[in-house]
A and B are shown apart, each in its own frame.
Chain A
Amino acid sequence: MTVQTTPDHTRWDSLAQEVIAPLAAQIDQDARVPQQVIMALRQAGAFASGFPGGPATDQAEALSASLDHGQMHQALGAASASVQGVLNVHHMGGSALAKWSSKAQRSQWMPRVLSGEICCAIAMTEPEVGSDISAVQTQARPVSGGYELTGQKAWITCGDFADLFVLIAKTEAGPTAFLLPKQTKGLRIAPIEGLLGCRGYMMANLHLEAAYLPEDHLLGRPGFGASHVAVTGLEAGRLNLAWGCVGLADAACTLALRRAKTRQQFGKPIGDFQLVQQMLARMATDIHAARLMCQSAATARALRQMDAAKQATMAKYFASQMVGRVTRDAQQIFGAEGIGPNTPMALFHRDSRIMEVIEGTTQVLESMIARLSLSEVHLS
């Protein structure tokens, strides 16, 4: 497989390493992404990354844009998993909006979504509804001119930051997607503090008490909220997150390699010990495999291949576990220095623990990949 990357994808590395990485510890401590980072991302066009081009976009352009988008998430993942998460949910909510909006909705919202003036998020999970999003309990009751929403959304990334939520609620037709602006009357945002990792996700629970949304805030059609709208967001998010995991793992591995060359014990660098080399070999191979899966899935997505969703699912499934293995080994190579307070290794390790839970847990993705694989084999 030949993989082309755009010539200037290194701009994401520069932005991530020069502007974001120096603030990673502060983002973790404050549990907030500072405005200067958001401004820099806006200026670099990060909020528009990964959105479909116009109808004229040819395959080469689509491929280049898709790989560039992946490079961005990889670079952000290496600098701060929290910042990667903000751009991830923006792209998840924004992709669902771009795909399933009416023409009028598109022109009303998309320019500000692409500029980053509006940050999107996606609200599916509820206290009693996690992996099975088709069972959402938040009610959307038809009222004159629109809907009235009542219920609770839980664990929403950027719940305490986003301007616009793509929210899934129940109507008579089944799960249905809505556009919920932050200022909506009847919406109360309750920030969540003390997360294990990815503290800069600015998480919140959303409480809806008879929140009124006009008819034109319905996204897609009633009954298609989980099967189509949410899935569009999740498919985008799985690939973004897989790239983010590759970046995070690569950052941890790079530090571990440096440490292996410089830390001396028993009169030689610890990288000379075969058992340390075993960890280094596992890490390098794991990261390489995950990166190739991401590149392949990004290519399939750009070329609209039928297996694009399966590839993204497999990439996320593999990369989210890979980053756990890599950060654990990297931390081990650092010894006490990897455990101590305020060390990058400890942050990498805490952040990596989130990845197997979001955008489909490892077990849910296993079941999806197995079912898709089974459906590809016919006995007759």
Chain B
Amino acid sequence: MTDTKTNPQGAIAAFMTRSFDGAKIEPDQDIFEAGYGNSMFAMQLVAFVESHFGLDIEAEDLEIDNFRSINRVAALVARKQAMAAA
């Protein structure tokens, strides 16, 4: 998990690429608009963020905008890490 702090975007991109059969996802690409997310992916993304970054996704984080793109997920992670450190 060496990239957890230095390159969260990279880790999230790699997870999404793995989940979407090798598709290359742009950092700001809307994955839902592009039709990538399926019913199982939603909780897999939560499980990934929680297990990879050691965070808890909570009710207040449940905004579709938080999960729309690599950069949005990275921003959520950064916010949660900052809150945890505070």
By a beta-carbon cutoff of 8 Å, the part of chain A in contact with chain B is 99-102, 134, 219-221, 223-224, 226-228, 231-232, 235, 304-306, 308-309, 368, 371-372, 375-376, 378-380
Residues of B within 8 A of A99 (CB): 58
Contacting residues of chain B (29-86) with chain A, CB-CB under 8 angstroms: 39-40, 42-44, 46-48, 50-52, 58-60, 62-64
Question: Which of A101, A223, A375 contacts B59, CB < 8 Å?
Answer: A101
Residues of B within 8 A of A232 (CB): 43
Cβ A375 vs Cβ B42 within 8 A: no
- A100 and B43 in contact, given A306-B51, A378-B18, A379-B22 (Cβ under 8 angstroms): no
Cβ A102 vs Cβ B60 within 8 A: yes
Cβ A371 vs Cβ B18 within 8 A: no
Given A235-B43, A309-B47; 7 other pairs, CB 8 A cutoff: A134-B39, A220-B62, A223-B64, A304-B47, A305-B51, A306-B52, A378-B22
Asked if B21 is at the interface of the complex by the 8 Å CB criterion, the answer is: yes
Chain B residue, CB-CB nearest to A313: B40
- A220 and B44 in contact, given A306-B51, A375-B18, A378-B21 (Cβ under 8 angstroms): no
Question: Which of B21, B46, B48, B60 contacts A375, CB < 8 Å?
Answer: B21
Asked if B4 is at the interface of the complex by the 8 Å CB criterion, the answer is: no
Cβ B50 vs Cβ A220 within 8 A: no
- A228 and B43 in contact, given A101-B59, A306-B48, A378-B21 (Cβ under 8 angstroms): yes
Cβ B60 vs Cβ A380 within 8 A: no
By a beta-carbon cutoff of 8 Å, the part of chain B in contact with chain A is 18-19, 21-22, 39-40, 42-44, 46-48, 50-52, 58-60, 62-64
Residues of A within 8 A of B43 (CB): 227-228, 231-232, 235, 309
Cβ A221 vs Cβ B62 within 8 A: yes
In the assembled complex, the CB of A59 is this many whole angstroms from the nearest CB of chain B, namely 11
Residues of B within 8 A of A101 (CB): 59
In the assembled complex, the CB of B85 is this many whole angstroms from the nearest CB of chain A, namely 14
In the assembled complex, the CB of B46 is this many whole angstroms from the nearest CB of chain A, namely 7
Interface residues of chain B: helix, strand, loop or mixed (majority):
helix
- A372 and B40 in contact, given A102-B60, A221-B59, A221-B62 (Cβ under 8 angstroms): yes
A371 to B39, CA, bound (A): 11
Residues of A within 8 A of B50 (CB): 304
A304 to B3, CA, bound (A): 19
- A228 and B42 in contact, given A102-B60, A220-B59 (Cβ under 8 angstroms): yes
A134 to B39, CA, bound (A): 9
Residues of B within 8 A of A134 (CB): 39
Cβ A102 vs Cβ B48 within 8 A: no
The 8 closest A-B pairs by CB, nearest first: A221-B62, A227-B42, A378-B22, A304-B51, A224-B62, A231-B43, A100-B59, A380-B22
In the assembled complex, the CB of A21 is this many whole angstroms from the nearest CB of chain B, namely 36
Question: Which of A227, A235, A379 contacts B39, CB < 8 Å?
Answer: A227
Residues of B within 8 A of A372 (CB): 40
Chain A residue, CB-CB nearest to B48: A306
A368 to B18, CA, bound (A): 16
A227 to B60, CA, bound (A): 16
A101 to B60, CA, bound (A): 9
Chain B residue, CB-CB nearest to A55: B56
Cβ B64 vs Cβ A371 within 8 A: no
Residues of A within 8 A of B40 (CB): 368, 371-372
A235 to B39, CA, bound (A): 14
Select the residue from B19, B47, B63 with max chain A CB neighbours within 10 A.
B47
Residues of B within 8 A of A378 (CB): 18, 21-22
In the assembled complex, the CB of B57 is this many whole angstroms from the nearest CB of chain A, namely 9
Chain B residue, CB-CB nearest to A223: B64
Chain B residue, CB-CB nearest to A52: B56
Residues of B within 8 A of A304 (CB): 47, 50-51
In the assembled complex, the CB of A341 is this many whole angstroms from the nearest CB of chain B, namely 44
Chain A residue, CB-CB nearest to B54: A304
- A228 and B46 in contact, given A221-B63, A375-B18, A375-B19 (Cβ under 8 angstroms): yes
A-B contact pairs, 25 of them (CB 8 A): A100-B58, A101-B59, A102-B60, A219-B59, A220-B59, A220-B62, A221-B63, A223-B64, A227-B42, A228-B43, A231-B42, A232-B43, A235-B43, A304-B47, A304-B51, A306-B44, A306-B48, A309-B44, A368-B40, A371-B40, A372-B40, A375-B18, A378-B18, A378-B22, A379-B22
